[in-house]
Chain A
Amino acid sequence: QKEVEQDPGPLSVPEGAIVSLNCTYSNSAFQYFMWYRQYSRKGPELLMYTYSSGNKEDGRFTAQVDKSSKYISLFIRDSQPSDSATYLCAMSSNDYKLSFGAGTTVTVRA
């Protein structure tokens, strides 16, 4: 079993819809949770960062962490075609290494 599980999709939604992405994990020591966005043939870029449990909102993006369930989510409101990308979850404990999900490919249809 992988340390971080993420449904690879693909996920296709119409413009304006809410995109819901999630990851589950098995390591209870994880405290730092991140979401990265990766456009085709580009490097991953940090989208959202959350420490420990709770919600964080940044514009159209909301990240949620539920440590009791070992479950994290990313919501994209009012999705745009420019949101079409692969979204990677990542998490770490207090050491130097991140564990990544395999990524979910999202397409927002105009």
Chain B
Amino acid sequence: NAGVTQTPKFQVLKTGQSMTLQCAQDMNHNSMYWYRQDPGMGLRLIYYSASEGTTDKGEVPNGYNVSRLNKREFSLRLESAAPSQTSVYFCASRGGGNTIYFGEGSWLTVV
């Protein structure tokens, strides 16, 4: 019972490099999300996808792009990483009653 799986778990990038965080869910959920979590800031929504084929900006979308590849997969791309994007990133999917299920997190450091 995998739930929400995201990769990689840890990554160090140099400023200006690009990378993609991968996420997949096996719960047949329509909606998927990308959050970042920073000390004292809580969880902030970067992008979400209400259903396959749609994506929308959240609170902090600048510097990120997303792709909803199919119903299972939702990727987050950093085109030109900046130190301000050092954070923990969580992918999530939405079940019944607006409950959200999270992956284990991806720790990203931009130097």
Contacts and interface: CB of A to CB of B under 8 A. Distances in A.
Interface of A: 6, 8, 32, 34, 36, 41-46, 49, 51, 88, 90, 92, 96-98, 100-103
A101 B42 CA distance: 6
Given A96-B94, A102-B40, A46 B99 contact: yes
A49 B41 CA distance: 23
Nearest to A46: B99
Interface stretch (B66-74, B76-84, B100-108): B100-108
B104 A43 contact: yes
Given A42-B105, A46-B100, 16 more contacts: A8-B40, A32-B99, A34-B99, A34-B100, A41-B105, A42-B104, A43-B4, A43-B90, A43-B103, A44-B43, A44-B90, A49-B97, A49-B99, A51-B97, A100-B43, A102-B41
